Amino acid sequence: MQEVNSYYADSAASPLAYPPLQGDQRADICIVGAGYTGLSSALHLAERGYSVIVIEAESVGFGASGRNGGHVGIGQRKDQYYLEKQFGKDIARGLWDMGLEAVDTVKQLIEKHHIDCDLKQGILHLAHRSKYCSELEEEVEHLRHHYQFDQMEYIETAALANFLDSQAYYGAQWDKASLHLHPLKYLQGLAKAASKAGVTVYEQSRVLSYSEGSSIRVATADGTVTASELVLACNGYIEKLEPRINGYIMPINNFVLATEPLSDELAEAVSAQDTAMQDTRFVINYWKLSADNRLIFGGGENYRRGFPSDIKGFVRQYMLQIYPQLENTRIDYGWGGTLAITLNRMPHFGRLGDNIWYLQGYSGHGVPTATFAGKLIAEAISGKLERFDLISNLPTRKFPGGTLLRWPGMVAGMLYFALRDRI
């Protein structure tokens, strides 16, 4: 079990406690995993009239959905140039539209279900090398011309001082359409909305196996659920539950700290306009202010099972490279979480047989995309497959070496790119 010394857990309301699964239950749809994917799927399916049971091995928010940076970015994890080149202009356009709709879906869910989750507007994408400035500037123009997107602006070096007091960056894109929020409050709001819509959630109930066929029997240590459809929403925590999809993702750990509440002067130095920020490094640094003016800063990752013993110290070194003025600021929290990446960094959706669905591999872009996945799976299970298939049909590959041998090669690759960030 991963330890959580998280600001989010301390600043969210006490979570609703859901009972463990016991005995034999029935539903139209059984969902494994209570993160954004599982709960958004449950909510959207319940709203279409299905009876839904969600089974969570630990508790709501245990996974990445309760631990992440809270950035709700437009687009996909890969930029439009990549998507156009790999998949053609029409598919790239479809993916762009869905990326915008994903952010909008988050916003609408928050409004509709009155979720109090410190929602704010705007993300700044900062160039950590001068050579990236022209790329960022060109992308703003590309999106304006080819996607009629006018909510992004290029910010020159001299104007960066309007946003942050740091010498670490050379220019930026100011993306006014993206959002940021308190991820655990948002997730708990989804759980509440799902319960209200009639969804049954079980916690502390690890799914150990399931049978296949027109009627699926899902088993935990103390109970079963019989359902017509099964949705696997386990992402980086899936382990050995479904070997047929496991090889398409690689779980990686990413780390976050929260400082003590900052003085107004320091908070202004960190983010004068209260936008979230992230940079162009391969191992991205990302940060924002919390509602009580703490710096929530994510930086650094590892590619093995355990977390560093001193997460605060591990992340602090990245924070100080950007904000040396925080040298004497106390770090109150440090935590990590596990996310799943795919080889091409696009989400990995699909179906095993007729009625086992999977949604995974958001590659660090899951706050909007996993939420949106819930909308797509509800459409797909209701018989409208087009938009689900736009993603499930994207060409994808397993990590070389499968689940056993994907590590050495990939880890070497990831470490190489991480090293390039530093030199």
Ligand X SMILES: Cc1cc2nc3c(=O)[nH]c(=O)nc-3n(C[C@H](O)[C@H](O)[C@H](O)COP(=O)(O)OP(=O)(O)OC[C@H]3O[C@@H](n4cnc5c(N)ncnc54)[C@H](O)[C@@H]3O)c2cc1C
Instruction: Provide the mask over 317-356, with x wherever binding to ligand X is found by CB under 6 A and - wherever it is not.
Output: --------------------xxx-----------------
The residues in 271-310 that bind ligand X, with binding defined as CB under 6 A, are: 286, 298
Site for ligand X (CB under 6 A): which residue of 190, 191, 233, 250? 233
**Among 44, 71, 78, 294, which residue interacts with ligand X (rule: CB under 6 A)?**
71
> Does residue 63 bind ligand X (CB under 6 A)?
yes
Does residue number 234 form part of the binding site for ligand X (CB under 6 A)? yes
In one letter, which amino acid is 415? L
Nearer residue to ligand X within complex by CB, 160 or 276? 276
Q: Which stretch binds ligand X (CB under 6 A): 16-24, 59-67, 307-315, 350-358?
A: 59-67
218 binds ligand X (CB under 6 A): no
When asked if residue 125 is in the footprint of ligand X (CB under 6 A), the reply is no
Q: Which stretch binds ligand X (CB under 6 A): 82-90, 193-201, 357-365, 376-384?
A: 357-365
Q: Which stretch binds ligand X (CB under 6 A): 90-98, 110-118, 209-217, 367-375?
A: 367-375
Supply the minimum distance, in Å, between the C-beta of residue 328 and ligand X: 25
Binding part of the chain for ligand X, among 148-156, 158-166, 228-236, 345-353 by CB under 6 A, reads 228-236
Is there binding between residue 32 and ligand X (CB under 6 A)? yes
Rule CB under 6 A: say whether 140 interacts with ligand X: no
Query: And the tokens for 172?
Result: 């930026």
* Region binding ligand X by CB under 6 A among candidate stretches 53-61, 142-150, 210-218, 317-325: 53-61
User: Which CB, 208 or 419, lies closer to ligand X?
Assistant: 208
Work out which of 254, 285, 342, 392 binds ligand X, going by CB under 6 A.
Answer: 254
- 115 scored as a contact of ligand X (CB under 6 A): no
Binding-site ranges for ligand X (CB under 6 A): 32-38, 55-58, 62-65, 67-71, 206-207, 233-238, 241, 254, 256, 286, 298, 337-339, 362, 364-368, 370
